[in-house]
Every structure is written in structure tokens, then in C-alpha cells.
Amino acid sequence: METPGSQSSLHRANLERVVRAVRLAGSLTQAEIARTTGLSAATVSNIVRELKDGGTVEVTPTSAGGRRARSVSLSGDAGIVIGVDFGHTHLRVAIGNLAHQVLAEEAEPLDVDASADQGFDRAEQLVNRLIAATGVDRTKVAGVGLGVPGPIDVESGTLGSTAILPGWGGTKPAEELRERLGVPVHVDNDANLGALGELVWGGGKGVRDLAYIKVASGVGAGLVIDGKIYRGPGGTAGEIGHITLDESGPVCRCGNRGCLETFAAARYVLPLLQPSHGADLTMEGVVRLAREGDPGCRRVIADVGRHIGSGVANLCNLLNPSRVVLGGDLAEAGELVLGPIRESVGRYAIPSAARQLSVLPGALGGRAEVLGALALALSEMGDSTLLEGSSPVSAPAFT
Amino acid sequence: METPGSQSSLHRANLERVVRAVRLAGSLTQAEIARTTGLSAATVSNIVRELKDGGTVEVTPTSAGGRRARSVSLSGDAGIVIGVDFGHTHLRVAIGNLAHQVLAEEAEPLDVDASADQGFDRAEQLVNRLIAATGVDRTKVAGVGLGVPGPIDVESGTLGSTAILPGWGGTKPAEELRERLGVPVHVDNDANLGALGELVWGGGKGVRDLAYIKVASGVGAGLVIDGKIYRGPGGTAGEIGHITLDESGPVCRCGNRGCLETFAAARYVLPLLQPSHGADLTMEGVVRLAREGDPGCRRVIADVGRHIGSGVANLCNLLNPSRVVLGGDLAEAGELVLGPIRESVGRYAIPSAARQLSVLPGALGGRAEVLGALALALSEMGDSTLLEGSSPVSAPAFT
DNA sequence: GCTTAGAGTTCACTAGTTGGACATACACGG
DNA sequence: CCGTGTATGTCCAACTAGTGAACTCTAAGC
């Protein structure tokens, strides 16, 4: 960074460009790198050699159509990243390396009403267990991505005033976890991470604009615009759950009436089925029954789909993304819910915006958020860190 | 942008760096340029020569302490850009130079139902008249920005299937105007240009995320995200006018019911006042009467504001912009309409998103669109310096 | 008049990217 | 089993562009 307009800065930028391309795709051949970065093959050749000599990158032979292409990937043992996802009913942790390989993944149930402290302790334990199980070198851990199921101010790291996680309000999850683990922790809300996960590993490949709709106990959306998570200036973009569909609808926990959530989220939908199907029903149960043909459950899911579709239509008019990916428990319902969504979108969105929109189920299921957390850790990890080869020990880090 | 990682791109970046430094300071000596840009004196020397030869910049002798320093400033007549804005009732043209100064501006009434050809002819005449009036050199005109009051596919340049401009559908305004004027013409819809205009010259200074709501005979929004116009993959983002507020509301020209437009746009609102206030009322008239105290007009404007506020609340939940600027005729109503909008936003948007939102009237009035067109022409000719402070760091993430 | 110090220019050098030529390796069809 | 085709990665010469150092210029200060 010494020389802000010089060739060496250009070279650095190109190095980073290559590293990013590789990290995003997991692994690429040199020719692919050249195509995606726009650099010439010769330059890529030089850069790859330089990165290989520096240990940032590994090249492994690949079988392909023509000459054997060498697959370039971030060297696996160069660094470890960890993803942690707090859900409403579970805690999920994944360990991966820079090569986009997931080394281990584990989930355990977690009572969301547990105190925040307890949650962080559990997370710490699970992380440690996974590190031990995979036998990776603790000092290689370069960063942690953390997902929380509620609005969070990414700048300050504070959980918003949340009726959603009682007892967690005002805590700073990233800081808590960093104290416990001793590495930089980057936090974002679960919908954004789901979007990132699907973009990198799942149903969003090759797309630059993606909206990830997560329906669980709440309804949230993660937005990727032009290849980047879009959080908005206040960090709370994507709150699709609380757009108003019916001004005189049911009262929502947010204080308004007729929010999308009151028509789609588990806590409002399940009671509808209690009289007929009993009180112990979960969303997963409803989905399962619907797939087995239960008409009540089918109807409920279709209704939910229609309402989500209305919300997506608004989203579509305003943002015009090229793809919407549905995640959360509800995605398991497949066409049972996607059909009504598409129908609603076609009905309420302006035609030119709806025409080019594809609505797909998530490809990662419940793993989208952890994997997204992993991806967050990867993306937040300074590229310069990689390039210097300087092993990132503990961490002041936060700026 | 041909070669995204090459030396020539570096050169271009350095050129812009210099131009920006000069624009910010008004005028600088070469040594000062070198210091503020971090480039070496030799490089600055070369760049200044290149810019001078290209006519972008002027050098004038200065008396100074040592050897006479040459003061470098943007040459006013180096390049001329023109903005053209077709409104529903008017045609507006502005002429500006590369130093971001507006040299002349003029509007004349235009019947929107006139044929497209006629409109283009009028635009050509007005442009020629202004060129003559300001005495600028015709050959210096580098580009034209064009605003049209309807959805337009920026890629192909075709006006969308528009019930809005009867007789204009399927035409390619940019091409038409280019044939007449003989210079490159860049087109976008009026809401986007209004957003750009307010961002660069008006009420959006210093903000990176802005939503410009234009209420006239329709309702549209222009979105600026992270300093750039956001059009969405299909080019139709910002269609706030057709989000559904009431599924059983009035039938909209788009075919749905209860779109925001049916509660806010002139064509739906004015008829409400016909019985009491006569048939010749225009939106401007309503605004004027309201300011003078007419209770009916006040009520109508407040109602419109409330509905717009609902739409803005949705926008706010989904996108969380830091500023909303209201444009169009309605903006003249000031607090009479802004108050209800804010009230509605506060009511329907989630608190954390609404808290940091400011809703302001446009600072440019009806000029926002033309000036935006001017800005578009500037930015399309490679001037990425419209927003200072728009470059650095942040945003690691995935390209 | 002489010195001084900052301003701009020139020049040789270096860093870095590129296009094209070339070697390589696999697949496929005869 | 062997040509042929095709895509890959590498090498080299050409070119682009920025830099440090030496150089020239000018006006102010003594």
C-alpha cells in the first residue's frame, strides 16, 4: 500500500483478484482464472507461480478434456475458518479450510431461551470438540463467522432490540466469542449468511443478485447485490418479515398488524393446525404431513406460499433480483410451497420484473447458514493476510 | 473498462485521480497534485500534459515563491454535456461542462400525447437553441443524458411496453436523439436520473444510499446503492408505484388492484377533488391550494402522504436506505406531505430501520431529472468522480 | 549579483502485463 | 494404434507506464 498509484499496487490488486476468484469458486484452473478475472493467461501463469511459491495456493492435476488442467485452490493447511450458527432450536458449527472444503460439521439442539452466556459457552465447547476431532492446528484458525437469528448492527456488533432472542438483547456476540476463542469473529444475521451460503455453495451459483428468503420461526431475507451482501447503511436491510400485507391483519410481535410474518412464520401458522392436528406439531411435521398428502397441511402451506409470494412480489418490484432462493424448514416442502409463491409473484409483481425471476429451493437445507458463516469468515479475512503469508496469531484485528 | 487489470486501467485510474484532485481543489499546481495524489512529480507531469492536450485541463501561469508554478484547473469549455428530460407535461434541457457547472437550463411545455417523433424534434430544437444561446462550441459536446418517464431497458434502449407514454412504446429514444444530434446519448428512466441528480447536486450529498421517490402522474423510485444507480438485473428496480397496498383496492393501469399508484398518482387522486374543486385541477394546483389552507386539498395530500409512507416503509424494511428524497410535483407540498409520510414510515417500518432514515424534500425541484441526466452523461463518459469519497476499502466480499 | 529553493521536465530504468508462439496432454474417430 | 483436434499452461519479446535522479528554470532574499 506504500505506493497508491504504481504498478506494484496494480500487481497487488491482481494478486488479490486471483485469490478472490479462487476462493469464491473453491478451485479453478488457470484458464478459468484468466477468464473470470479478465487477466491474460500469461499474467495468471506468473501470479499463480508466485502464489504457489508463497504457499498461499496449491496446484493439483486434474483430468479434463484437453491437456490436463491444473486445478488451483487455496492451500488447505494455510488456514482454517470456522462457522458458527445460532438457530432458534439448534447450534451448528462447521470447520473448513481455505480451499472451500468443509472438514467437519456438527449440530446440537440449543434452547433459544437459554441465557446468552450459556449459548456462547456451548458454542465454545462445540468448536473445541470439532477442532479436536479433526485434529487441525489451533493456531491455524484464522477467523470465525458467526450467525445470529436476529437483527444485528454489524458495525457495533450489538444485537438489536430483539424480542426474538429474549435475554440476548444488547449483547455483543462477536466479542463474546472472540474472548472465548481468541480469534477474530465476524458476525451477521442468519438470513444474510444463508444468502451467502447459497450463493457460494448452493443454488445461487453464477448469479450476482440473489434474495434468500428464510422462513422459520420468523421470516427474513438476505440480499446479495452485485456479488456482495447488502446490509444497508443501518445493517437491517432484508426485513421482509415485517412488510405490511394487511393493515388490519393479525397483530405481530413487532407491534404492527398484518406483517408477512403473521401469515408465514411458524409461530403464527402452527396454531391454525392445532385443533385438527394436535399441539405438538412443528413446521417440519407440517411439511412432512403435507408431502404425505395431508390436505390440511397442504392448504396451510399453500396459503403460506401465497403470502410469501406477495412479499416477494414487493421485493421483486423494488429490487428486481434475478433469483430468489427459499430456505428454512419450509423449503423442504418443495413445489407445494414454491408453486403458490410463483403464482403470487406472477400476480402481484409487474410483469417485466417477474418475467426474469427464478424462484428456487435452497440447495443446502439447514446447512446454508453455517456454510454462509464459513464463507463470511473467508471473505472477511483480509486478503493481505493471505498474501503476506503472515500467520495470523491472536487478534487485535477489529478496526 | 476494456482491460480490467492492466496498466492502461491503472493509467486511467491515475488520470481520474488527478482530475478529481483538481476538481475538489478548484486549481492546483503540479507539485500540489503530486503531493495530494501520492503520484510522483514525473508522472503528474506526463498526466497533466496528456490532459492538457486532450483539452480537459487548462494551465495558467502563477506567481509563486520559486519558479513560476503553473496552476492547473479544469478547463470550462473543454467538454460540454447535455441533459434532456422528457416529462409528462414538459421538456427540459440543461447544458453543463466537465467542471460540473451548469451553464444553461430551459424548460418548455410538451404534450406527452404528442407523437414520439414530434417530441424528439422539439428536444433537438431546444438543445440547439441552448447551444446557440450559451455560445458553446458544438463540436465540444461530448455526450447527452436522456431521461424518459417510463420503464426503459437500458441495455437495448427500448422503452418498455408502456401504457404511460402512448405512442412512444417500442421506440429507442437514445438512438433517435443520437441521430438528430450526432453525439452519444445515454438513457435512463426519470426516477433514476432524479436520484442521481439529487445525489450529486441536491439533497443527497454525502450519502451513499438514497431512494428518490417521484410522484407525478405515476409513482416511481430511483435507487442509489453504494453510490451507484441500482437498476437490478432486468433494469426495472424501483417500481415502487406498483407494490400492492390493498388487494381489494382500485384497479390500476398495470392490471392489479390497490397499487400504491392508485392512492398517490395524480391520475387517481385528482378525480377525488373534481366534484368540489372543478375539473381543471392539476397536482400543482392542489399543492398550491393546500398551502393556502384549503382543507380538502390538505386532506387529500395528507392521505397521499400516508400511502406513500406505507410504500416507503416497505422499501425501508427491505433496503434500509439512509435517506429518502421526495421529488415530483408533490414535493412542493413540503411538510404537508412529508409529515404524513414520516408518520406512516414510523408506524409501518421496523423501528431500527426507520430510526436512521431521513425523509427530505428534493432540493432541486423539477430540475432533479435534467441535472441527473447531465450527471449520467458525465458518468458515462468515464467520469467516476461524481461522488467524492466514493472509492475506498470496505466490502471485501465476493465478486 | 549570487545564492537558494521550489517547480516542472527529461531520461534511463524498472515493474508488470500482453499477445503470440510453443510444447503438452488428453479425447475421439478411424 | 495412431493421427488429429483441442484446450492448457509456459516462455519470450514487445509494450506500457510509473519512478528516481539529474537537470533546468525562475523569482525571492541577502
Task: Give the per-residue pLDDT at A124.
Answer: 95
Burial class of residue A46 (count of CB atoms within 10 Å of its CB; 0-12, 13-18, 19+): middle
What average pLDDT score do residues A155-163 get?
71
Nearby residues of A259 by Cβ (< 8 Å), 6 or more positions away:
A241, A242, A243, A244, A245, A249, A252
Residue of chain B whose Cα is closest to the Cα of A220: B318
Smallest Cα–Cα separation from A377: which of A85, A12, A40, A73? A85
SS3 B380: helix
Percentage, residues of chain A above pLDDT 90: 43
Task: Give the per-residue pLDDT at A386.
Answer: 55
Residue of chain A whose Cα is closest to the Cα of B208: A233
The Cα–Cα gap between A214 and A221 comes to 6
Task: Give the per-residue pLDDT at A399.
Answer: 27
User: How far, CA to CA in Å, does B86 sit from each of B44, B109, B110, B303, B323?
Assistant: 42, 10, 8, 28, 26
Residue A330 DSSP symbol:
G
What average pLDDT score do residues A72-97 get?
87
Tell me which CATH homologous superfamily contains domain B206-363: ATPase, nucleotide binding domain (3.30.420.40)
The Cα–Cα gap between B123 and B109 comes to 11
Q: Which fold has domain A204-363?
A: Nucleotidyltransferase; domain 5 (3.30.420)
**Contact yes or no for A209/A224 (Cβ under 8 A):** yes
The Cα–Cα gap between B124 and B110 comes to 13
Instruction: Specify the nucleotide whose C1' lies closest to residue A46 (CA).
Output: D10
Instruction: Specify the nucleotide whose C1' lies closest to residue B40 (CA).
Output: D19
SS3 A31: helix
**Contact yes or no for A397/A184 (Cβ under 8 A):** yes
Q: What φ, ψ does residue A3 adopt, rounded to 5°? A: -110, 100
B138 CB closer than 7 A to any strand C atom: no
* CATH number for the domain running over B80-194+369-380: 3.30.420.40
Nearby residues of B185 by Cβ (< 8 Å), 6 or more positions away:
B143, B144, B145, B146, B173, B174, B175, B177, B178
Average pLDDT across chain A, whole number = 85
Smallest Cα–Cα separation from B376: which of B189, B209, B206? B189
pLDDT at A300 over 80: yes
Task: Give the per-residue pLDDT at A392.
Answer: 29
The C-alpha R_g of chain B, in whole angstroms, comes to: 23
Buried-state track A365-397, b at ≥16 Cβ within 10 A, e below 16: ebbbbbbbbbbbbbbbbebebbbeeeebeeeee
**What nine digits make up the cell of A69?**
488442467
Cβ separation of B318 and A238 shorter than 8 Å? yes
Among A102-116, A201-215, A384-398, the minimum mean pLDDT is found in: A384-398
| Domain limits, chain A | 7-74, 79-194+369-388, 204-363
SS3 B19: helix
pLDDT at A324 over 90: yes
**What nine digits make up the cell of A394?**
491472536
The Cα–Cα gap between A169 and A87 comes to 15
> What's the pLDDT tens digit per position in A362-384?
999 889 999 999 989 988 875 55
Instruction: Specify the nucleotide whose C1' lies closest to residue B6 (CA).
Output: C17
- AA identity, residue A40: S
- Find the residue closest to D6 using CA and C1' atoms: A66
Nearby residues of A185 by Cβ (< 8 Å), 6 or more positions away:
A143, A144, A145, A146, A173, A174, A175, A177, A178
Task: Give the per-residue pLDDT at B187.
Answer: 93
Smallest Cα–Cα separation from B147: which of B96, B210, B195? B195
Task: Give the per-residue pLDDT at B287.
Answer: 93
The DSSP-derived string for B264-276 is HSHHHHHHHHHHH
Nearby residues of B86 by Cβ (< 8 Å), 6 or more positions away:
B110, B112, B119, B123, B146, B147, B148, B149, B173, B190
CATH of A79-194+369-388, one of 1.10.150.120, 3.40.50.261, 3.40.640.10, 3.30.420.40: 3.30.420.40
The Cα–Cα gap between B65 and B45 comes to 20
Q: How many CB atoms lie within 10 A of CB A181?
A: 22
Task: Give the per-residue pLDDT at A191.
Answer: 92
Pick the more confident residue, A212 or A60: A212
Smallest Cα–Cα separation from A220: which of B48, B199, B19, B320? B320
Residues of A in contact with B314 (CB under 8 A): 243-244, 314, 318
**Contact yes or no for B109/B87 (Cβ under 8 A):** no
pLDDT at A65 over 80: no
Q: Do B80-194+369-380 and B206-363 show the same overall fold?
A: yes
Positive/negative CA dihedral, A329, A333, A339, A340: negative
pLDDT at A288 over 90: yes
Nearby residues of A260 by Cβ (< 8 Å), 6 or more positions away:
A219, A240, A241, A242, A243, A245, A307, A308, A310, A311
Cβ separation of B318 and A318 shorter than 8 Å? yes
Protein-proximal nucleotides of chain C (any atom < 7 Å from a CB): 4-11, 15-21, 23-27
Q: How many CB atoms lie within 10 A of CB B83?
A: 30
**What nine digits make up the cell of A385?**
493476510
* CATH number for the domain running over A7-74: 1.10.10.10
Residue A251 DSSP symbol:
B
Selected for mutation to probe chain B from A314, A378, A386, A387 (highest B CB count within 10 Å) is A314
- First vs last Cα of chain A: how many Å apart? 17
**Distance of alpha carbon B239 from its chain centroid, rounded?**
16
The Cα–Cα gap between A41 and A43 comes to 5
Task: Give the per-residue pLDDT at A267.
Answer: 87
Smallest Cα–Cα separation from B150: which of B253, B60, B70? B253
Residue of chain A whose Cα is closest to the Cα of B318: A238
Task: Give the per-residue pLDDT at A161.
Answer: 58
Q: Who among A161, A244, A321 is closest to B313 (CB)? A: A244
The Cα–Cα gap between A316 and B29 comes to 50
Nearby residues of A164 by Cβ (< 8 Å), 6 or more positions away:
A149, A150, A218, A253
Smallest Cα–Cα separation from B163: which of B118, B237, B120, B218? B218
SS3 A73: strand
The Cα–Cα gap between B177 and B145 comes to 10
β-pairing verdict for A228-230 and A219-225: antiparallel
Burial class of residue A2 (count of CB atoms within 10 Å of its CB; 0-12, 13-18, 19+): exposed
Maximum C-alpha span of chain B: 78
Q: What is the pLDDT along chain B (399 residues), one digit of tens a residue?
A: 456 667 888 898 898 889 888 887 778 888 888 888 889 889 999 999 988 888 888 888 765 555 677 888 887 666 789 999 998 888 999 998 877 788 999 999 987 677 888 889 999 999 999 999 998 888 888 899 999 888 787 778 887 655 566 777 778 889 999 999 999 999 998 999 999 999 888 877 778 889 999 988 889 999 988 778 888 877 788 999 999 998 889 999 888 899 999 999 988 999 999 998 988 888 889 999 999 999 999 999 999 999 999 999 999 999 989 899 999 888 889 999 999 999 999 999 988 888 889 999 998 988 999 999 998 988 877 665 554 433 222 223 333
> What's the pLDDT tens digit per position in A85-113?
998 888 999 999 887 788 999 999 987 67
**Distance of alpha carbon A320 from its chain centroid, rounded?**
20
Residue B169 DSSP symbol:
T
Protein-proximal nucleotides of chain D (any atom < 7 Å from a CB): 5-13, 16-22, 24-28
SS3 A38: coil
